[in-house]
Every structure is written in structure tokens, then in C-alpha cells.
Chain A
Amino acid sequence: MKFFSPMAFWFLILIPVLIFLYILKQRFEERQVPSLYLWHQVLMEAEATSPFQRLKKNILFFIQLFVLLLGIIALANPFLRMKNRDYQNVIIVMDISGSMSGIGEKEVKLIEAKKKAEDLVDSLAYGSKITLITAANRCKVEISNSQNKKEVINKIRDIEATNSAGNVDDAYSLIRAIADQYDSYKVIYFTDKAVDFKELNAELIYMKSRQDNVSLDYIADTLKDNQLKVLVRATNRGKNHRSSEICLYGEDELISVAEVDLSPGETKTIYFDNVPRDKEYIYAEITEKDGLLEDNIIYSVIKQKDASKILLITEKNIFLEKVFAAMKDIELYKTNPGDIPEDQFDLYIFDGNVPEKLPNEGSLLFINPNKDNKLFKVRSEANGGKVEIVPHGVTKYIENSDFVIAKFRGLQTPYWANSLMTVKDNVIAFVGEHNGQKVGAVGFDFHNSDFPLTTEFPIFINNLISYLVERDSFAITQYECGNPIEINPLPETEKIFVINPIKKVYELSSKFPVKPFEETYTPGIYKVSQKVGDKENIRLLSVNFPISESDISDYSGEVNLKNNSTMSIGGLNLANYLIIAVILLLVLEWIVYLRLYGSRY
């Protein structure tokens, strides 16, 4: 027997106080009677026949005394140790993945699991070492080897749902490593999935689910006649037929509603036509509530940026045209040398020619320039050889390419540029930025090389174009909860802010390398804001509930609840029992009181 709060024994001084009060309370109601003649006889008789009379007279007092004593012991939090001596080390693994946000027997499974875990910690023997691990897309040791139950319980209370995909089985190696330091231990999983215990001494506390769940798994939009066509995929993951209403919203405006009937296990695709294009993001929502609410809504960001306009000034270059045809996010315009339109373009490509006057706006790419210009100098044509690749962002993924060129013009790399390729120590390609204009140059004709025939050619052109025009730096706009958002900051970005769907603002350091943003536990639209001087570059990203977590079917039939069946409850917390005893005693006192005094009135 242990007392967790022995300080409560200070309340024992209340006992003499109670006795004192009892003595004080012994005030008699004065009654005048004609004669004590009979009373004397009665009393003499009563005292002679019943030695218990005195005890009985004071039985209420003794009950009160006992109640007070039990109350104080209950406050002292007594703990009765049972067969737990071997299991003083407990590793609690709490599944906090998305499916735990589903509705369990009464409320959200994670809340139920937390309550159970609290009760478990409460019942552990004093001195037990408790380790708390949360498992979702990543496993995290929340608290390690703590003997402070209160601290552990507070930690358990602080656990929040992540909505991310994850599997508690991934925690195995971590658990293994922690368990190895103990002679004896017990792992207790709180999850709604079947767990492979392997050789761990483990027990599973299975969080049962409500069965019905309809999830929205996928959303996509395509541009058609300047309007969007939106595709939404819904799956019924329950065992009952469901008829659901799916609403499509553009930003906060309801755009369309569709009814969908789903048999158990069925997946259906719903199309919404003629969705206006001017919305920054759209989302679809199932209006009916079901076993898991988080997957009833799915977000998508509409690509806003117009395709980059590229002007190709060339006599004829089939290789470049083919490569550009494969790039979906650019608009290519072709013209002959000397016939440059006045329109503004994002990129001018001069293939085999250099105009007298270079455009002041837009990026410039020179291919096989035939003469000097104000940006760089060109040497005379020479015979080529094998090309060496200089490591650079633009030459990423083509480092191992192997090609030769027949003829080339050596380029004089300006101070603001970095070379990309060399032949016999002559620079034949560079990129750089001059007066706000991005400039690239390649000193050979693609027709004079086998480079266009290699697989690296389109990669190189793509990298080059990406460098020269602002293409979407977030190739991915859809993320799953819990997955980190990779942010490639624009050059010269000073500050990066991420605003989550509940308007919480996170500031990220713009120092290279930028750490991925990881707090993506709330599904919705995230705003990434990059500040360059006065300009603010805002990108929207959608974060959705992971499809893998939408399956909340009941595994309880197939789960292995225990390994090495040993008890997990280490002992008995007596406080609650004492409190029940106190209540019973109070009832008893009331009955005794009624029996002694009640019948007279």
C-alpha cells in the first residue's frame, strides 16, 4: 500500500476537531417533567440491561468519525499494489493518425483512447517508468521514462489529432529500441488498427469504430473553354447503402450540388461542368455527417498563372519545337529573325541570330549566337569535341550525359554568369542575371551535335526554361495532412509566412536550405507568402485528409489483443472505492438517524 498524496494526512487534525465539536454539540434540550420518578427507574433499568446503550447512543458519532477517516485516506490517494511488480516500465503507444479522428463508441476515438490511457496511467504502480509515444506519419517520443504520473497524464491530455496517414507498426523499431533498455516492460497500443506485435510484450487496446463513412478521395480540375471541369471521387466505406449530397464550393460560394448513391464499398466519380475559373480554390463537401468527418471535405487549388509566353526567333529548329510542345505550361510563339513582334514576352529565344537591339524586358536565351552583343562576347567558330558538364541547378540530372559537338563558338562568360558546359576549356553555355534580366547562352547549333538525340536534352531545355521564366515553383499544390510542404524560396526572398486554414501564421526562416513546413495537420487551404522587398508572392496549397485513413472498418474481429498475456493494470487505486464507502456510510448514517430519531416525528 502506497499513498500518493501523504500530505492529505494533515487533515487528520480534523478528527480531534470533530470530537471537540461533538462534545460541544452535547447540548441538551431542557424539558421540565412533573417528576423524574419513572425516568430514574427506566434509566437504572436501561443501564443495567444494556451495556451497548452508550455505544448505540454515540453510533452516529462513530459513523461520522469513520467517514472522516475514510475521506482523509481517500484524499491521500492510497494505492494497492498487485501483480505489477514486474511491469514497472510501460510504453504507451498512442495512434494519432487520421482514422483516430473518427467517431468511436461515443465520441472521437482519440479522445476515448486518451481517457483510457489516463485511467491506465492512474492505475499504474507508484514508481512505474512511463514512456509515451505518439504515432502518425512520424513517431514521436512525447515523454520518456517518466515516473511523474501527473506529467504523463498532462502530456496525454495535450495530444492532438494529426489527421495524417500513418501506421503504428512503424513505431516498432523505436519501441524496440526503448524496450531494449528495460529488463521488463509492457507495450500498450491505443489504436484502431490491427497491430503486429512481433516479439514485443504488448497489449492492444482497440478503439472500435462506428462503421459508416463516406469519403471524398480525389478532386481535380481541368480547363475547358475558359471554364473549369471539376472531377470529384467519392467512396462509401461503410456497410450500408448511402445516399449523399456533394456540394462544390468556389472559395466560400456554393457553385453546384450533386446527389450520389453509393452501395457499400462503391466508388463513384462526379463531374461538375462550367465551374467559373476566377476562383482561387474550390472544395467539395459531403453534407451528411458520418463516422469520420475530416474526409468529408476535399480542397483543390486552381492554377492561376497564365502560361509563360515564349518567342522563338529561328529559321527552323525542330528539336526545340518538339521539346516545347511537351511543356504544358508555356505558350510558344515562333517568328523569323528580324520580324520581332512588339508584344511583351516572358522569354526571347534567339536561335542562330542576334538582333541589333535586345529587348529590355523579359529573359533572353541565345542559341549559337553569331556575333557579339552588349551582354557578352562570342569567339570565332572552332571544331568541337566531347562536352564537359559543369554542375549547376540547370545541369541537374544531366551530369552523366555523354555527347559531342562538331562545331562551336566559344563564349566569354560575363562576371554575372555561371558556366554550364565546356569543350576543351572553352565555355559553350552559361546562365546568369543582368539588370533584372535573366540571360542564357548556348554556343553551338543543336544540329551540329548528337545532344538532341539523348534523353538528357529535354531535361536540359526544361531546366533552362525553368531558370529563365517564372514557372510554378510549387509543382505540387495538393498535399496530404502530415506531409511536409517543400518550399523552394524565390531568390532574394526575405520572409516566408505560412498561414494555415484556421488563420494561424507561421514564419519560416528563409535561410537556405528552407526547412519544409510540417504543421499540416488541419485539412484546408494553406497560404504561402514570400516577401521580396515590397512585393509579396502568394501561393495557395491544398492540404487534404489522407485517403488511406478513411478506411475505418472494424478490425476487432481479427486483432490480436495481447501478447504474452500479462495484466496491464498494475494495481488498484483505492481512492474511488473509499469514496464509494464514504457515500455508503453516509447513507447508513441517515438510516441510523431515522431509526433512532425519525419515528417520533
Chain B
Amino acid sequence: MTTISSSPPQTFAQKAIARAGGLDRVEVGQIVDVRPDVVLSHDNTAAIRRIWQQFGQARVAIPERIAITLDHAAPPPTARHARNHAEIRAFVREQGIRHFFEVGRGICHQVLSEEALVLPGQMILGADSHTTHFGWLGAFGAGIGRSEVAALWATGELWLRVPESMRIVLEGELPPGVTAKDFALRIIGDLGADGGLYRSVEFSGSGIAAMGLESRMVLPNMMAEFGVKNAYVPPDEKTYGYLAKRLATRYAIGDREMDRSERDGPSTPRSLLADLKALALFPDPDATYVATHVYRAQELEPYIACPHSVDNVVPLSAVAGTRVDQAFLGTCTNGRLEDIAAAVEVIRGRRVAPGTRFLVIPASSQVLQAGLERGYIQALVEAGAVIGVPGCGPCMGNHMGIPAPGEVTISSANRNFRGRMGTADAAIYLANPAVVAASAVAGRIVDPREVVEG
């Protein structure tokens, strides 16, 4: 028997927005009032609170859906920053917000991932442009403004337009020394900083399936620099395993506030896996895409984004030899354990070059702890690196590694805009973690193989 489908196939974005809007299906271009599962804010929470107070409400609408981290200027570099944090803590207490993460816990996107606060098929909207990050686990993540977060606190609801979708396929496994960061830089370099403007990007292909989870996280995160609304990596057994383990820990410690997860008894990891699979959303095979770009992994190499724009991308060899004053390994893009491991592999038994600083800031306290357990942090300190408090560090120019005018930084972050790190007249190059570490050792931009073999 053949069945004739009455509804045309849908993309991930259509399905996720329909679900969050309580609708059966939605069309591209439609404006939908959605009720996101999680609403994220960070050091900007005090400013959002001041906007929200204009609504005259005593209580926020759905406190259990609010997640707040102190990460962007943490610990506070000035008394004004400290007062900002104090205002946020007062709000958290007064509204009874349980998903609150203190100074030192880490960067919002990393922490909410580790805490399994966002699940496949769910929607997170955040007052942070890299909220696209959560696509790594098959969720719909998009950045919004402060007023919009205030509106979500007040009503639980916000309008979204259903975006056109675009597919990016990675065929084959990345060769050694070429990372997800290089793939992301290549895409942005090829298609421009507005190449994905307003679109939903869906990643697929054998190269994505073969990637570890920490590498997958880089892709939707970096797609913020491609102009996208959200980006999506299809979840698989690896994804469910990561989340189930963390959910089980949370239930064990008695956190029963997960939306859609109110349970009668303690969940077994097996039933958690089944629940996660049931939540996951996948695009229909014949869904409509405005573009499809196919990359062959074997043809990629290490890339570097040159000042002052993320789409100013060249092969690493083109800028090799450029003097480096500061190397920075960290951020929500590349501050995880595999990034630190890649740096350690390059730097173990070597020294940071005289005249160069090497700053390493783990993305979270869990990353720091794992790095300590494996001896990575020891190796970095022995090599002359400086370890910072988990958080955003100097990524957006608040503190802990602001360059002097005229200095050159090589960074594992996602943005190299003029003034991004706090100094307008300073150059920022973006690269993968091994290149950052090798450049710290050489005091100039260099291919890691040269340092390791040379």
C-alpha cells in the first residue's frame, strides 16, 4: 500500500519552530509566536531586569525556563562590574531562579550544555549571539536582544520568522591537524560573513557523523559569524549518551525542574536515552533548501582569519611568520578539553617563546577539572602558559588579557572585529587550538607540524 503524504516535507527549522509554537506545521516566512524551553542571559541580566521592571510584574512568567550565568566579566574586574553581578544575584534570589551559575562555573553555552539544560528538538533563545551553539545537540538556538529576553520573562512568548534553510555537507573525515574550526573558517571565508544571513544551516554528511561532540560544538557556534539564525547538527547515539549521562546526574541530585521531564520515579539511563530519541527532530529527506554546499574533508587544510573580519580567511601558510605578542586559547568556540589536549600535544616539553604570552582559559570548571586530572594544566603551566578563571576571559575585551595598541593576538575565539578584545588598534588572528599553541611556542604564526617535528 502506498500512502500519499498530504503535508510537504519540512526542514529542521520548520519542525522546531512549529513545536515551540504549538503548531502542526509552519511555512517559510511565517511569523510564529514561540514559547522557548530555555531563555538564556548572562552578565547582561541586570540590564534586562531594568527593562523587565517596566512591565510592572512582581514575578517572571516561567522562572524554571530561565538560565543565567556570570561569565562575561567574571570575576568582576571593577567595582561597577561587581555591582552588576550583585544586581543579578538579587534578581535570582527574588525570582527563585534555580538555573543560576556563579562566577567560575564557565561560559554560558558550555555550562548549559554540560548541565543538559537544553535537549534535542528543544528551543533556546538567548541574549547572546552565539546561542546558535546549541545546534550541536540538535536543538534550535538563536540569539535575541535584551528587550526580547525581558519580553520572554514577562510573557514566555516571542515572535520568530521561519527562516529559509541551507545545507552544508562534509564528506569524509577531516585529515590530522585539520579541525572543525578550520572547516567553519573555510565556509565563512568562501561564502562571506553574510553568506548564511538569516538562514537556518543544517550540517550533515559522513564527516559530521565521524566528529566527536566537542568538535561538533564548534560548528553551530561559529555559524553566528556566518549570519545565521540557527544552525543544526543531527543528534545521534553520541549526543544522546552525553546528555543521558548528565541528566542522570541531575536527577540523582534531585533537580526535577526539567521541562517536559517531570517524572514519577528516578529515571534509568536507558529510559532517558529513549526519551531523548523521542524528542529529537530531523529534517524530512525532501525538504526544500535555498542552497547546498558540499565539502570534501580531505581537501581542507588549516585556515586562519586575518584582521579585522572573520571572513578574511587564508590558508595558514599565507600568514606564517607573523609576529605574535599574545596567544589565547579559550572561549565557547575552542576552550574545551580536546582543544586543551591539542595544545598540550604541541607544547609539552617546550616553552612559550620569550616576548610572547600564552593565556589558557578553560571554557568551564568541568573542563578545568578534567584538564587537571589528565595533567594537561600542569604541562601548560610548566611550558610557561598562564591559566585563567573559566569564563569568557578577554574574548570581548572586558579583562584578563587585553592587548596593547599595536600588538598581535592569535586566538582560538570566534571574532576578530576591530576593538573586539578591547583595543581598537590591535590585530586578532583566529585559528585552531594547535596553531594557537604552536604560535605561542614559536612567537610567530606557525604550522604546528613545524614545532612538533622541527
Do A and B come together as binding partners?
A: no
